[in-house]
Chain A
Amino acid sequence: MNKSRRNFLVQLGSAALFGAGTAAGIHSLTATSAFGATPTGSPGIPKGTRWGMFVDMARCEAGCSDCITACHTKHNVPDFGNPKDEIKWIWKDSYAKVFPTGSQQFLAQQLADKPVLSLCNHCANPPCVKVCPTQATFKRADGIVEMDFHRCIGCRFCMAACPYGSRSFNWRNPREFLKQVDAEYPTREIGVVEKCNFCSERIGTGRQPACVETCKTQALVFGNLYDKNSEIREKLRTRVTFQRKPELGTEPSVFYAFEAGHV
């Protein structure tokens, strides 16, 4: 090729390398503010908080769905009556479904028989937050992966990104499918994504999440993972716990124990 075209290609290549390098540099400087950094607190959230949940499957009663009912009632989760449009914030599924990458061979009886609780893990490195184009789903300073229903454009990118299937979408108008209404909490609109929010509206006013409060066997413990003296840290110290799909690096905030403990 002739000289001017060659010069152009050389210049283009150098510009591209320079641009890529600059972009990478800027990105690494600004990226920590979005997620993955130590929570620094915000006006309404005290510093040094990371909310987590301990799920004691040894105490969880097979056949009981009190936590599910409490959550879905308190948050006006609609019932569309079919699995395609279904919205669920918390539910029970078999061990193989909740831990599909875990060992499935010669499972202990308690794992094989009893359905496991499944909910949003409020990951510390959430892929859903990474992909959301409007930050409608975002990580709060206290670690809760929150939904801003006012901002969501319904692109459902977060649903594709979540490795746990924790998210639901309002495929239809939810106001037409409410079994009951709790006026303390709003409903949602057609066209937005929703999921468990760790009851941010309750913990903001000093209460426990609805599921934790309702559980009659105290199988759920909710607390500050950064507080060494919290009940949840005590549980994590004394019980062997598992996270869902830890190999993906999402750093879930929900920990499961299966064998009965002394605490």
Chain B
Amino acid sequence: MFDKALSGGRAYWLWLAFLSVIIALGISGYLRQLEYGLGITGMGRDISWGVYIAQFTFFVGVAASAVMLVLPYYLHDYKKFGRIVVLGEFLAVASVIMCLLFVMADMGKPMRVLNVLLYFTPHSIVPYDIMVLNGYLVLNIVCGWVTLEAERTEVPPPAWVKPLIYLSIPWAVSIHTVTAFLYAGMPGRDLWLTAILAPRFLASAFAAGPALLILLTFLLKRLTGFDSGREAVQKLTTIVLYASLLNFFFVGMEFFTAFYSSIPEHEHSLTYLFFGLEGKSALRPYMWISMVAGVSAIVILLFPRGRNNDRWLMLACALIFLSLWIDKGIGLVIGGFIPNPMGTVVEYTPSVTELTIAGGIWAIGALILTVLYKIAVTIKTQAA
């Protein structure tokens, strides 16, 4: 089916060329990082994880969101999702590959990564995260590809793919739960040491992922005429709305526990993020943008006039995606390190090289997504 990706219009090839340039820049940035060291980023002794791990965390969520298409369609016979389930699975594939690349970019000794497999450590969450992420990648590649192939040849998919599809449902929940476990068990980081971290992760994933998917359906309609189906988009919108409400409810819960208990260690990170601490407030504007964007998106989606109108819907999806990208990436991961374990506020600014490398990985994800979507859409529009 790959031949479908090898033929396209001018816009298609220009887009791939543009992405290739960004990827090349990212690779050259990474080579510089290998030479100079991770000190070329904005990370330091106190903020030891930055943009790379923040993006990794966010995109695990986007990958998990494929379950929001698979679950209704396969488990509850919601036929309206039929045309776009594979789009969700392919989005998961591109997202998981981005996650793995972000982790690789963050390693101090990338050539030694296989040590994680050679010296399997059952009490560390990392090997389990590697297992579930790679397993989920394989599941989505296989399920998406096989069902698409079956559609192309106009036969029912083989029987063995059904149990794999069912397996991908709890597996999607597991990838983000295990990723949350990376954070939620660390005694020294109070912003992360909360029982609702995994639920928060899942809620924001199920809001951000489908929101991106809705935007992609509009893009596909515009570029290729592929119609995902109005009811499908509306159902996804409902999912985005309720997941967003749940996410902000959870954020509210965090605020309550932190500030009503007034335990300094619980409060400090949130205070720094939203109000500033010790005169330092570099992340404050971003957190409030995230809040305003998220609440605005929810308001738009609450009203039928908002969610039924294409332009307002697209705006709401973009706003919620931005809001959660800031909240999970910048807010949660960076905020967890501030203040440091000794109570000092040290701030973090990503460097140009760091952003170039991250941009390169984004472009790789976009490239994979473009190629996979080109194949899927071509087959589906030809079959129709």
Contacts and interface: CB of A to CB of B under 8 A. Distances in A.
- Chains A and B directly touch (beta carbon < 8 Å): yes
B48 A133 contact: no
Contact of A127 (B108, B112, B186, B340): B186
Contact of B45 (A83, A98, A153, A155): A83
Given A97-B343, A135-B119, A160-B48, A84 B108 contact: no
Nearest to B169: A12
Contact of B122 (A30, A131, A153, A190): A30
Given A164-B341, A191-B109, A34 B123 contact: yes
Given A85-B44, A172-B37, A155 B107 contact: yes
Given A12-B170, A163-B188, A165-B340, A154 B109 contact: yes
Contacts of A248: 187-188
Interface string B100-122: 00000011111011011011011
B49 A171 contact: no
Most buried by B among A134, A157, A190: A134
User: In which size bucket is the chain B interface?
Assistant: 35 or more
B189 interface: yes
B151 interface: no
A214 interface: no
Contacts of A80: 39
Interface string A77-110: 0001001111100000100111011000000000
A151 B119 contact: yes
Among B38, B106, B336, max chain A CB count under 10 A is at B38
A190 B341 CA distance: 24
A41 interface: no
Given A160-B48, A168-B45, A153 B124 contact: no
A239 interface: no
Given A127-B186, A155-B108, A249-B187, A169 B45 contact: yes
Interface in B124-140: 124-127
Interface residues of A, number: 60
B124 A131 contact: yes
Interface string A155-183: 11101111111001111110000000000
A101 B343 CA distance: 9
B2 interface: no
Contact of B113 (A85, A87, A130, A153): A153
B36 interface: yes
Given A171-B44, A250-B187, A190 B37 contact: yes
A155 B342 CA distance: 21
A132 interface: yes
B166 interface: yes
Given A153-B107, A153-B109, A163-B188, A84 B45 contact: yes
Given A173-B37, A191-B38, A160 B342 contact: no
Contacts of B124: 130-133, 157
A5 interface: yes
B116 A153 contact: yes
A156 B121 contact: no
B44 A83 contact: yes
Interface of chain A, helix or strand or loop or mixed? Answer: loop
Contacts of A96: 343
Given A164-B341, A169-B108, A130 B123 contact: yes
A248 B189 CA distance: 11
A191 B108 contact: yes
B108 A153 contact: yes
Contacts of B341: 100, 162-165
Contacts of A97: 342-344
B46 interface: yes
Given A160-B49, A162-B188, A133 B44 contact: no
A27 B122 contact: yes
Contacts of A85: 39, 44-45
A159 B344 CA distance: 16
A5 B75 contact: yes
Interface in B305-358: 336-337, 340-344, 346
B112 A152 contact: yes
B230 interface: no
B269 to A, nearest CB: 13
Most buried by B among A101, A127, A152, A160: A160
Interface of A: 1, 5, 8, 12, 16, 27, 30-31, 34-35, 80, 83-87, 93, 96-98, 100-101, 118, 127, 130-136, 151-157, 159-165, 168-173, 189-193, 245, 248-250
Given A134-B119, A165-B340, A191-B38, 19 more contacts: A30-B122, A34-B121, A85-B39, A97-B343, A98-B342, A131-B124, A131-B126, A131-B186, A133-B127, A134-B112, A152-B112, A159-B45, A163-B186, A163-B188, A171-B44, A172-B39, A190-B37, A248-B188, A250-B187
Interface of B: 36-39, 43-46, 48-49, 75-76, 106-110, 112-113, 115-116, 118-119, 121-127, 166, 170, 182, 185-189, 265, 336-337, 340-344, 346
Q: Which 9 A-B pairs have the closest CB atoms?
A: A154-B108, A163-B188, A191-B108, A171-B39, A84-B44, A133-B126, A165-B341, A97-B342, A100-B343
25 contacts: A1-B75, A34-B122, A34-B123, A35-B123, A84-B39, A85-B39, A97-B344, A130-B124, A133-B116, A134-B118, A153-B108, A153-B109, A156-B48, A156-B106, A157-B124, A160-B186, A161-B188, A162-B188, A165-B341, A168-B45, A170-B37, A190-B37, A191-B108, A248-B187, A249-B187
